[in-house]
Amino acid sequence: MHTDTLQDKVVDHPEDNQGTSHYHQNEVVVRFNQDPSEADLAQIKTEIKANSVQKLGYTYVFRTEAMEAKALMAYFKKWSVAYVEPHFLYLTNDYYDDQENRDTSSSDTYDATKDSGLNQQTSNLSPNFIPNDNLYSKYQWNLPLIETVQGWQVNRGAKDIIVAVVDTGADLQHQDLKGQLLPGYNVISSSDSPQDDVGHGTHVAGVIAAIVNNNLGVAGMTWYNKVMPVKVLDQTGAGSTYSVAQGIIWAADHGAKVMNLSLGNYADSSFLHDAIKYAYDKDVAIIAASGNDNTERPGYPAAYTEVFAVAASDSENKKAPFSNYGDYIDVTAPGVSIASTYPNNQYAALSGTSMASPHVTALAALIRSTNPALKNTEVYEIMRKSAQDLGTPGRDKYFGFGLIDVVKAVEWLNRQQL
């Protein structure tokens, strides 16, 4: 549907996604000004012939086969509500062109089971250190560009600074992620583990925390930060406002200090915003991908003021052709052909602001590892002030404050210029 008018829209090409959002046809999200009584709920269920009612925090999700979303929204106007809105769906923010910009061919993948040698991570790195990860030198152009290795000379992370990846889950058995993942949570099927059945979350997790210097696959940006996979998107890569909000709240309640959201749409959902505010108020640094439709229209959750918004750039520090842009963008990070972990001990090169966002998430984790006392707002400010200016001098709508710079960011505290 078109986000402003709620009119149905047929999308035949990725560029047609600009300004559109998906929603559940027979569901609405309602927050009442005052919680309804049992009698009120019984009346509502009867009048709309509700199949189910779910509650998360102060918000209710009503489902019925008898009415569509627009009719349901009109019905709830007679009740005293803070808001009533469609039950939106959020999608992964990776990008596919007509040739499917995803490479899992034999030339760009590596089977981790063929080489399980593990080098111990040393306490000190030589100034000329280069990771021995099998795919690093050939494919990981992104880490040198943002001065990651130099940043490791200052800080390589801390295991007690937990990073939540709210996504499709993660491959819990991947050899390049073993020991890096916490148990996490599966919102889609609360009795199951957050095992990735898409690949997107595994890729995001690898950018952040794939084991460094183990002769396997790729190097992550942090050595010691643990990733908490929270599965909120189903096997199609889509998740409802309810599932995404539930995952955000769960991660905030279970110790996440940094959170990656490589998902979104163009609907400004009060329900999702409430969950974002909850995590933000618990001092979580929230990083989100801006979207991949090359549009200036704000995408959510990236455009919320509590969220640090990320655009994507390429190996030449140019704007990625697909990357969304606008005044809400904070920084840019590499997002074109990013090599990372993929299910079944494989590796893939994917593109999208989904891939740019975890670079910034990892940087936020390194900053918080350097000084755990920093507030989320201070982490945001360090990343803005330490970025390498690109494009028009100063902040601009394509690159925000510029390309993240790992070594400058982690050294920022030592210079005490915040």
Q: Which residues pair with 285 in a beta bridge?
A: 258
Q: Any catalytic annotation for residue 200?
A: yes
Reported in sequence order, the residue ranges of 277-363 that DSSP labels E, i.e. its strands, are: 285-289, 308-313, 331-334, 338-342, 346-350
- Residue in the structure block whose two tokens are 């940043």: 151
For 92, 348, 418, the CA distances from 237, given in Å and listed in that order, are: 6, 17, 39
Distance CA 239, CA 179 (A): 27
Q: Give me the catalytic one of 200, 203, 273, 359.
A: 200
Kindly state the tokens that stand for 160: 């007690």
Are 77 and 31 in contact by the 8 Å Cβ rule? The answer is: no
Q: Which residues pair with 92 in a beta bridge?
A: 263
Distance CA 220, CA 209 (A): 4
Q: Give me the catalytic one of 240, 269, 290, 354.
A: 354
Distance CA 69, CA 177 (A): 41
Q: Any catalytic annotation for residue 167?
A: yes
Q: In what order do the strands lie in the sheet with 227-231?
A: 185-186, 227-231, 162-167, 256-261, 285-289, 308-313, 331-334
Catalytic positions, please?
167, 200, 354
